[in-house]
Structure 1
Amino acid sequence: MRHLLLSTVALAALAGSAFAADLPSRKEAPVYIAPTPVFSWTGFYIGADIGGQFGSTSLHSDWTGWNSHSLDTSGVMGGGYVGYNYQINQNFVIGLEGDFQGSSASKSWSWVGSNVLGDANVYTAKVQTNWLASINGRLGVAYDRALFYAIGGAAWAQGSATLSGAAPSGLFIGSVSKNTDLSGFDIGGGVEYAFTPNWVGRVEYRYYDFGNNNVSALVNTFTPIREQTSVNTVRVGLAYLFSAPAPVVAKY
């Protein structure tokens, strides 16, 4: 009898455990925590920038009493840029960018020379950069929201040269100016940081080289002045990145 009673109690305990296991759990499900989205540099962007321009223009002439003279120009520049980034993998970004910059950089120089008749005159030469433009490729290394990049490509500019003075003989009186369209290349680098998924700031250095150009028709039919121009720029910018849509993450 005793053994029968113990067996009955043990059997009842096992049955109760099995029944409890079949009941729905009252424990709350864990709170879903969405994974932090990975920032992507892929997308179109448009921005504006401002900075300083520091250039060097070497003037060469055969008739003014000097062979060459270098003018170091400086001024403020500013404009806009537009481009497209494509992020190849977690670290590498390639892109294409175009920009246009207005410039106030200029420099003047005066000297005493003589004209073909031997008259002594005071001349003033002034060079100025009116605008810069370029189309460039970009190659960058990304660390999440920071992008370190190199940039380079084809560049264009418009420069102006002015020569003024007074010749008692009447061969040269007043001032003449000439706009010159320049072409060359630019190369540089910078760093960008995405403050938000769309707003991206940058700091950039760029070097431009436009080679030698003749500033023709400045002084009647005399030998023209030749100029060699290079430009250094440092600028800061802010752009809006039209980034690709974030992937949809399913919740379970």
Structure 2
Amino acid sequence: STVAFAALAGSALAADLPSTKEAPVYVAPVPAFSWTGFYIGADIGGAFASTQGTILGTGASHTLDNSGVMGGGYIGYNYQLNPNFVLGVEGDFQGTSASGSYSWSQTVGGIGNIASTDTYTAKTSLDWLAAINGRLGVSYDRALFYAIGGAAWAGENDTLSLTNSFAGLLWSGSNSKTLSGYDIGAGVDYAFTPNWVGRVEYRYYDFGNTTWYPTVNSAGLRDRTDVNTIRVGLSYLFSSPAPVVAKY
């Protein structure tokens, strides 16, 4: 009986000692990705311009399909309204190498049996594109599908000359101008990390009609310009700090 009582007492004392088992390691939940914040990035792609050129007074009309490389930078701000919708504003500037030219000839008379021919030569180059846009996106964690659109501008340089098969160069002129219009497009952003975001985007620009005259007595050139662009980019998102999670 004495031995049994001692054994029971020892077990009771052991049960009252503090446990040496460690508490489970706390694992904080992964915070939801947030698109809110400023961002700045660079992009590169292709610009495909279409300029409908009409030489006034001659009936000559031709479409220049200008294509070239484009590249530049963009900066903007996102605000995530809820887990699925994101609003933003963005500005960008792009340089392009898109250019094209065409010639048009007509018979205007001659000397004896030799016909005289006038040849008009027009060239258009699109030097840069710029825009200030609003963005509306639908997010799925680190992917953001968005529509974009707003006001756009472009730098265009035109040259027009007239040569005669007998008299040679009759007149020539060039004109640099800033076009204004609108752009609209769509794209997708994907956050590879909390800060680095890749992009693929399509955008269409429409700049309407412009007209200019190289000299007082020359024919005029009327252009209608629109541009399609495809670009890829990489930006750095200055995202909001992650929420602090208390440990208990």
TM-score (norm 1): 0.87
Among 78, 89, 102, the alignment partner of 1:109 is: 102
- Cα distance in 2, alignment partners of residues 80 and 116 from structure 1: 53
How far apart are residue 158 of structure 1 and its match?
1.3
* Unmatched segments (≥5 aa) in structure 1: none
Indicate if the aligned counterparts of 2:171 and 2:218 stay in contact, CA closer than 8 A: no
Indicate how the Cα distance of structure 1 residues 64 and 145 shifts in structure 2: closer, same or farther if over 3 A, else same.
same
SS, match of residue 76 in structure 1: strand
2:75 equivalent in structure 1: 82
With over 3 angstroms needed to count, the CA separation of the structure-2 counterparts of 1:81 and 1:116, relative to structure 1, is farther
5 Å-filtered alignment, 1:5-24, equals 13=8, 19-24=13-18
Does 2:233 correspond to 1:237?
yes
CA spacing shift, 1:194–1:138, aligned 2, 3 Å: same
Number of the residue aligned with 2:20: 26
Contact 2:109/2:117 (<8 A) preserved: no
Deviations 1:186-237 (A, max 9, x none): 00000111111111110000000011111x2324334421111110000010
- Structure 1: how far apart are the matches of 2:191 and 2:16? 53
Structure-2 residue corresponding to 1:121: 118
- Structure 1 distance, partners of 2:11, 2:180, is 88
| Superposition deviation, residue 26 in structure 1 | 1.8
1:179 to 158, 173, 176: 176
If the length of structure 2 is used for normalisation, what is the TM-score? 0.88
Q: Which residue of 2 aligns with 1:73?
A: 66
> Which ranges of structure 2 fall in alignment gaps of 5 or more residues?
none
Give the 3 Å change call, closer, same or farther, for CA 114–102 of structure 1 in structure 2.
farther
Question: How big is the shift at 1:170?
Answer: 6.1
Deviation by residue 1:47-91 (Cα, 9 ceiling, x = unmatched):
01110011111112332342x221111111111000000111111
CA distance in 2 between partners of 1:43 and 1:116 (Å): 68
1:220 to 216, 223, 232: 216
Aligned ranges for residues 124-135 of structure 1 at < 5 Å? 124-135=121-132
Equivalents in 2 of 1:19, 1:89: separation in Å? Answer: 57
Q: Report the Cα distance in structure 1 between the residues aligned to 2:17 and 2:202, rounded to whole angstroms.
A: 69
What is the CA–CA distance in structure 2 between the aligned matches of 1:116 and 1:160, rounded to whole Å? Answer: 32
Looking at structure 1, the residues matched to 171 and 56 of structure 2 have their Cα atoms a distance apart, in angstroms, of 21
Note if contact 1:207-1:231 (Cα within 8 Å) is conserved in structure 2: yes
Q: Which residue of 2 aligns with 1:158?
A: 155
RMSD: 2.7
**Does the CA-based 8 Å contact 2:160-2:221 persist in structure 1?**
no
- Secondary structure of 1:103's counterpart equals strand
Greater percentage in strand: 2
Alpha-carbon distance between aligned partners in 2 of 1:135 and 1:234, rounded to the nearest angstrom: 17
Deviations 1:13-40 (A, max 9, x none): 4x76665554322221101112112211
Provide the C-alpha distance between the structure 1 equivalents of 2:236 and 2:98, rounded to a whole number of angstroms.
28
Give 1:173 deviation, angstroms. Answer: 3.0
Find the structure with the greater CA-based Rg: 1
